[in-house]
Amino acid sequence: MKKILFICTHNAGRSQMAEGYVNATYGDRYSAYSAGSEPASRVNPLVIRAMQEIGIDIPDAKPKLIDEFDGIGMDLLVTLCDSGTCPVFPWAEETIHQTFPDPKAITGTEEERLAGIRAIRDAITDWIDQTLGEA
């Protein structure tokens, strides 16, 4: 089984969505993990809600420090940051940088923020389907 590590700075949104989606959809071929260089104290509750809407339950997800994965070989590292501060992970066989907007940057009412997170979720899941569905 191939191992994938999704990385973002805070590990509270994009990388958590990617980890949950891969494990739920492609768990027969991949084990997905996520981490960040500056983990938040918790996963964004609207991210958890947006994932539940597509049948993926991640309420127990916790932001993790990238150091927890030091020395663990990964087949694929995917950085999801939309800024120039994405951390690197030298133990991956292959690295892909795929940018998505940060859910934390979305402003407005709760419903407006959730709509923005849904759009990011859909972009991430579509990209994963295109990338892993062909592998």
Which CATH number characterizes residue 112's domain?
3.40.50.2300
Question: Which of 48, 61, 80, 81 is labelled catalytic?
Answer: 81
8 flagged as catalytic: yes
- Full strand arrangement of the beta sheet holding 30-36: 30-36, 2-8, 74-79, 92-97
What is the tens place of the pLDDT at every residue in 60-111? 999 999 989 988 889 999 998 776 556 666 677 788 889 999 999 999 999 9
Q: Which of 22, 86, 117, 132 is catalytic?
A: 86
The widest CA-to-CA distance across the chain, in whole angstroms, is 42
| Structural domains counted in the chain | 1
Q: Which pLDDT score, from 0 to 100, does residue 94 have?
A: 84
Could you tell me the residue range of the domain that residue 30 belongs to?
2-132
